[in-house]
Amino acid sequence: MKTLLQRIGMKTSLGLAAALALVVGAQSAQANNLFGIDVSSYQGSINWSSAHSCGAQYGFAKATEGTYFQDAYFNGNMNNGKAAGVQMGAYDFCRPDLYSPATEANYFWGFAGGKIAPDGKSLYPMADFEVFNGHVGAANYTAWFNAWSSTVKGKTSHFLHPVIYCSAGNGACDLIEYDQPGGIYLSAWIANYNGQNLYTGNPWTCCTCCNAWQQGCGGSNWTYWQVSSTGSLCGISGNTDFDAYPLSLSELIAYQGVK
């Protein structure tokens, strides 16, 4: 994800061999995972038809950051992505250090809620967890994000089950209450640039990483995996984030689609 703040510690460079493993091409015909992207104003204007024709089946677009930023490209990304046949989700770059979960969730929904609809083209929204300076109005990060999710879910009569994006290290390790009563209730979107193939790999590759949704190493319990921040895809100028979903397109729509 791209933020107005300087990104520290999460992004790492991929070697040539790993980068080659991420190329979108003929190998996708034999894939297990489903290819998608996440974007923000950092990518500028996107040709979603081209991106879809080159393999992107779903996309997440940045909507807000804290209560001080609305992404100028959000509405265009959501509208054009859906029109091109891409399943689209919205995300909030969260600032638990500055705002209560309800305050931030209300701001996010006020801007993005109209695009999160049971139209057969919308995915559950995502909370982007990358700031670790405190949790206003909550006892810990898990409680903050659960409250954010509850507030968002309460905005509509349609069923939503939001996801939370975090690194396999810092973010997941801060969700330490996952195995306690009242643990984290959002689905896992894990960022780990481990060099594995987008279509056949998974984000759980080291015992030092915190597997926040299934104890032990090598767990398979993840909803999305951010594979790289340096992907190259037709329709987009410059780098973009590449993501994987472990099931088919029909299952993505069935399990992650707004209903």
Using CA atoms, how far apart are residues 241 and 89, in angstroms rounded to an integer? 14
pLDDT at 220: 66
Can you spell out the DSSP letters for 238-249? S-EEEEEESS-H
Name the packing angle between helices 101-112 and 141-153 (round to 10°): 40
d(CA 53, CA 235): 9
Task: Report the pLDDT averaged over residues 212-225.
Answer: 69
CA distance 139 to 149: 16
pLDDT band at residue 210 using 50, 70 and 90 as cut-offs: confident
Checking if the pLDDT of 81 tops 60, the result is yes
Q: What is the mean pLDDT of residues 177-185?
A: 63
pLDDT classification of 180: cutoffs 50, 70, 90 = low
Tens digit of each residue's pLDDT (9 = 90 or more) over 23-72:
443 334 346 999 999 999 999 999 999 999 999 999 999 999 999 999 99
Q: How far apart are CA 1 and CA 163, in angstroms?
A: 14
Residues of the chain with pLDDT > 90, as a percent, come to 70
Residue 212 pLDDT more than 90?
no
- Listed residue (182, 172, 181) closest to 150, CA to CA: 182
Mean local confidence (pLDDT), 155-164: 96
| Range with the poorest average pLDDT among 24-33, 114-123, 222-231, 235-244 | 24-33
Q: Which two tokens stand for residue 55?
A: 């393999």
State residue 175's pLDDT score.
Answer: 81
Instruction: State the average pLDDT over residues 154-174.
Output: 91
Q: What are phi and psi of 140, to 5 degrees?
A: -160, 175
Q: What is the pLDDT of residue 241?
A: 98
Residue 3 has pLDDT above 60, yes or no: no
Q: Can you give the pLDDT at residue 232?
A: 97
DSSP line for 92-122? EE--TTTS-HHHHHHHHHHHHGGGS-SSSSB
Residue 80 contacts residue 46 (beta carbons within 8 Å)? yes
pLDDT band at 172 (very low <50, low <70, confident <90, very high): confident
Averaged confidence pLDDT in the chain: 86
